[in-house]
Amino acid sequence: MDWECCWSKDEIAPESCPYVGEGEEDLYTSHRRRVVEKCVECPRFKNDLARMKGSGYPLSDVLPYILTEFQEQKAQMGAMLSFLNSKTREIKFLREVGIVLQTSMDLDEVLSIAMTAITAGKGFGMNRAFLLMTDKERRNIKGYLGVGPKDYEEAWRTWEDIGRSNFSLKELARDFQKTKLTSEKVKFHDILNQLTVPLADQGHIFNRALHGKKPILVENALNNPDLDRGLARILGVDCFLVMPLISRNRRIGVIIADNCITHKPITLQDMQSLETFAFPVAFALERASLYERLQEEVAKQKGANLKLREQQELIVKMEKMALVGKITSSIAHSIRNPLMVIGGFARTLLKGSEENDEKRSYLESIVRETRQLEDVLSEVLDYSEALFPVTDFWDLNGLIAAALADMDGVLEQAGVVCRQELSPELPMVRIDYKQISYCLKTIASTALAAMDQGGELKVESMQDGDGVVLRISDSGKSLTKMAQEALTAPFFQTQEMGEGVGLSLCKTILERQGNTLSIISRPGGGNTYSIRLLTRKENI
Amino acid sequence: MAKLLVVDDEANIRLLYAQELSDEGYEVVTAATALEAVEKLEAGSFDLAVLDIKLKNESGIELLQRIVKERHTLPVILCTAFSCYKDDFSAWLADGYVVKSSDMQELKDEINRVLTKKQKGMSQE
């Protein structure tokens, strides 16, 4: 009998069976495999079986039983194999993700790997996922991050890009963290903002999932009166999965996953796989959040330690100041009082002496020398005080106005007019108020000394880069280079300026605080003293 | 004639004050300690007190506080060898602050200023 199917032939010619595909060419010569794999499914074979039955072949009645059983078993085997393959993939994937989740302390890295795993085709393949976390006060669950395409266009573009790349899941997550995490955080801002739910709202689906410690699959949400339609409307889908994130009985948050683009149904198997995955994610999120909080606490602690060290240094400095204060007080008391008595009585005697008394010049010498000793003593005491500045933020213009107000009488007596040009928008400067005030007064006094015929004293303030400049200009005679040097060297004496520590002390004070003093004398007359103060100095 | 109480533990300085301030036309009473000053303040009436800060047993600042507490109308000028107390808030109770100097003009000016201010205040009342 001629059979329609090739089952009876040991070998067949190529292309004589339409069911042998490319890559299966060995079936042409392998009779047994061809019959088992192809012929049992072939419609021609079924026709041959029918013909056999008609011709009275004795086995033709039982053959269909065996064949049906064989096909059922084969289908079961196939399903099991497919299930096995899928589970193997899942385990491999969970292992890959698990390693990162177990080791990472970086919240962004954990978020990236978790959300990529849920949404990537190589992971759970959901279209979109939202992560909601409980806030620090543990009062609300709040939307934190959304990942996925906003529309079909974006989905198509993203999936095509991913399809072209040969990235592993870990690489995809790394790429996501590097290039997309920041933008994704704001992309779903509108949806995330509407997802805040109080933890006390026990009836809400998020809290029900957290309380039951089980995922909830919501289907047909828009038409189901028992379900919260508001959430479905916010998400724009009627089928989504709510996955609780719980670590050591602590409610960490919730993941919402859906297939907003493909609308593929979420299966029980999807739900079970995600449930297995949720545990390490919750644990890793908790650990990373705790680590982040720990880092914040460490930073706070470091700040407090720094502050404490500053305070300790300040105490040491103040102790030194107190010691210097004691010494200088003692000097002040032991020298100033005798000087006052000597000079004071000399003045009294001078007042009572006759104009032509030859001893008058002796008394005048005593008065003059005592005065000079008193001046030197004042300067030495000022110098020791300048060793320990007490700095704070001050308004320089206020300082200038107050210092010049103190000098009103002296200026008037010297016939000098004072002009102030102060910039109204100066930043605060970190200075020792008393010392800078002293510098300004000393410079102004030096400037007055150069204007013995009266003149104009100009005081300006202005911003200059990261500093502020205080400029004092006189209209007196120009100082020579030597006089300028003398002014800034302690106890250096010149014919022009006498001797003292005044400007030298100013220079020391300013330089110790990182500021500068410069003097420019114009050849035609007039001198300008510039003090540059830093505004951003944290520590001195 | 304004009556001044001058308190200083140095005898020579008290002598100098008495001489110079009498020449300015003031009636000057001196005291060497805070205790003596309090006794003299209780015994008579004064227009102004000039106090040194470093005194034996009780400081000029403490004496100042007692005067302000008990006789708050009496103006006080601190005249001391220390410039640092000027920044001490406890010294702000005083009406004036002068650093000791052989040239007593500053002290005289300050006494004059404080007394004038006091007189103006009284005439307004």
Last-in-domain residue among A257, A278, A295: A295
pLDDT at residue number B125: 58
Q: Output the pLDDT for position A489.
A: 64
At B35 the three-state DSSP class reads helix
Domain identity same for A127 and A41: no
Give domain status of residue A345, yes or no: no
Whether residues A415 and A527 share a domain: the answer is yes
Only one residue has tokens 């640092």, namely B84
pTM of the full structure: 0.45
Percent of chain B topping pLDDT 70:
94
Instruction: Specify the pairing of strand B96-99 against strand A392-394.
Output: unpaired
Q: Compute the distance between CA of residue A44 and CA of residue A258 in angstroms, rounded to an integer.
A: 46
Note the pLDDT of residue B87: 63
State the pLDDT at residue A495: 42
SS3 state at B30: strand
pLDDT exceeds cutoff 70 at A494: no
Q: Which of B9, B13, B50, B102 to mutate to test the interface with A (most CBs of A within 10 A)?
A: B102
**A265 lies in the same domain as A407:** no
CB of A341 less than 8 A from some CB of B = yes
Cβ neighbours of A118 (radius 10 Å): 27
Residues A44 and A113 in one domain: no
| CATH code, domain with A182 | 3.30.450.40
- Given a cut of 70, whether residue A168 has pLDDT beyond it is yes
Helical H segments across A387-527, by residue range: 396-406, 408-413, 433-449, 481-487, 502-512
Look up the domain containing A194 and give its range. 87-295
Whether residue A256 is predicted with pLDDT greater than 60 in this model: the reply is: yes
Structure tokens at A30: 């392998």
Instruction: Look up residue A374 and give its two tokens.
Output: 């008193």
Does A100 share its domain with A205?
yes
pLDDT above 70 covers what percent of chain A?
94
Domain contains A250: yes
Rounded to the nearest integer, the mean pLDDT of chain A is: 85
Q: Please list every residue in chain B whose beta carbon sits closer than 8 Å to the beta carbon of residue A339.
A: 102
- What pLDDT score does B35 carry? 92
Taking an 8 Å cut-off on Cβ atoms, the answer to whether A340 and B101 are in contact is yes
Question: Which residue did the predictor score with more confidence, B40 or A151?
Answer: B40
| Helix (H), strand (E) counts: chain A | 17, 13
Q: How many CB atoms lie within 10 A of CB A278?
A: 22
Greatest Cα pair distance in chain B: 39
Whether residue A175 has pLDDT greater than 90: no
Give which of A161, A174, A159 is closest to A113, Cα–Cα. A174
Higher pLDDT: A269 or A539? It is A269
Most confident listed range (A136-140, A185-189, A480-484): A136-140
Q: Is A370 close to B23, i.e. CB distance below 8 A?
A: no
Residue A166 lies in a domain: yes
Question: What percentage of chain B exceeds 90 in pLDDT?
Answer: 63
Nearest by CB: B13 against A328, A329, A340: A340
Å between B73 CA and nearest CA of chain A = 27
Could you tell me if A243 and A138 lie in one domain?
yes
User: Which CATH fold would you assign to the domain B3-124?
Assistant: Rossmann fold (3.40.50)
Per-residue model confidence (pLDDT) at position A341 = 93
Is the domain of A210 the same as that of A248? yes
Residue of A323, A334, A337, A377 to mutate when probing chain B, most B C-beta within 10 A: A337
List beta partners, residue A242.
A216, A256
Q: What pLDDT score was predicted for residue A539?
A: 41
Helices in B1-125 by DSSP H: which ranges? Answer: 11-23, 34-43, 60-70, 105-124
Nearest CA in chain A to B11: A341
- For chains A and B, count residue pairs whose Cβ atoms are closer than 8 Å: 60
Radius of gyration, CA atoms only, chain B: 13
* Residue of chain B whose alpha carbon sits nearest to that of A329: B82
In a domain, A9, yes or no: no
Cα of B25 to nearest chain A Cα, Å: 15
Pairing between β-strand A128-134 and β-strand A467-474 as defined by DSSP bridges:
unpaired
Hey, is the C-beta of A340 within 8 angstroms of any chain B C-beta? Answer: yes
Residues 6+ apart with CB under 8 A from A455: A415, A416, A417, A474, A475, A476
A171 and A51 in a common domain? no
Cα of A341 to nearest chain B Cα, Å: 6
- The tokens of A397 are what? 């213009």
Task: Using alpha carbons, select from A476, A481, A398 the residue that is nearest to residue A443.
Answer: A476
Closest CA to B54 of A308, A81, A93, A337: A337
Nearest to A217 by CA among A274, A262, A261: A274
Assess if residue A71 is contained within a domain.
no
Locate the domains of chain B by residue range.
Answer: 3-124
Is residue A110 located within the same domain as residue A154? yes
- State mean pLDDT over A435-443: 88
Q: Which string of b and e fits A258-276 if b means at least 16 CB within 10 Å? A: bbbbeeeebeeebbebbee
Number of domains in chain A: 3
pLDDT in tens, B75-124: 999 998 877 676 667 778 889 999 999 999 999 999 999 999 988 877 76
User: Is A458 in a helix, a strand, or coil?
Assistant: strand
Rounded to an integer, the average pLDDT of A252-279 is 88
Residue A488 has a pLDDT of: 65
Please answer yes or no on whether A374 and B101 come within 8 Å at the CB atom.
yes
The tokens describing B88, both together, are 């001490």
Half-sphere exposure of A59 (CA within 13 A, CB side): 5
Q: How many angstroms separate the CA atoms of A184 and A145, rounded? A: 7
Interchain contact A374–B (C-beta under 8 A): yes
- Which pLDDT value is given to residue A538? 47
**What is the rounded average pLDDT of the residues A452-477?**
90
Q: Given this model, what pLDDT does residue A152 score?
A: 83
**Is residue A57 located within the same domain as residue A150?**
no
User: Angle A301-A296-A306 (CA atoms, 0-180°, nearest 5)?
Assistant: 25
Residue B88 is predicted with a pLDDT of: 67
Instruction: Confirm whether A73 is domain-assigned.
Output: no
Q: Are residues A224 and A175 in the same domain?
A: yes
Single-letter amino acid code for the residue at A145:
L
- Please, which pLDDT band fits residue B34 given cuts at 50, 70 and 90? very high
Residue identified by tokens 């006094």 is A445
- Stretch A422-435: mean pLDDT: 87
| Same domain, yes or no: A112 and A41 | no
Contact B103 A347 (CB under 8 A): yes
DSSP A26: G
CA distances from A122 to A86, A92, A93 (A): 11, 11, 8
The 10s digit of each residue's pLDDT in A89-148 is 778 777 877 887 788 888 888 888 888 888 887 778 889 999 999 988 889 999 989 988
Alpha carbon A395 to chain centroid distance? Answer: 31
Q: Mutating which of A324, A339, A340, A438 best tests the B interface, going by the most B Cβ atoms within 10 A?
A: A340
Q: What is the pLDDT of residues A62-86, one digit of tens each?
A: 888 898 899 899 999 999 998 888 7
CATH number at residue A398: 3.30.565.10
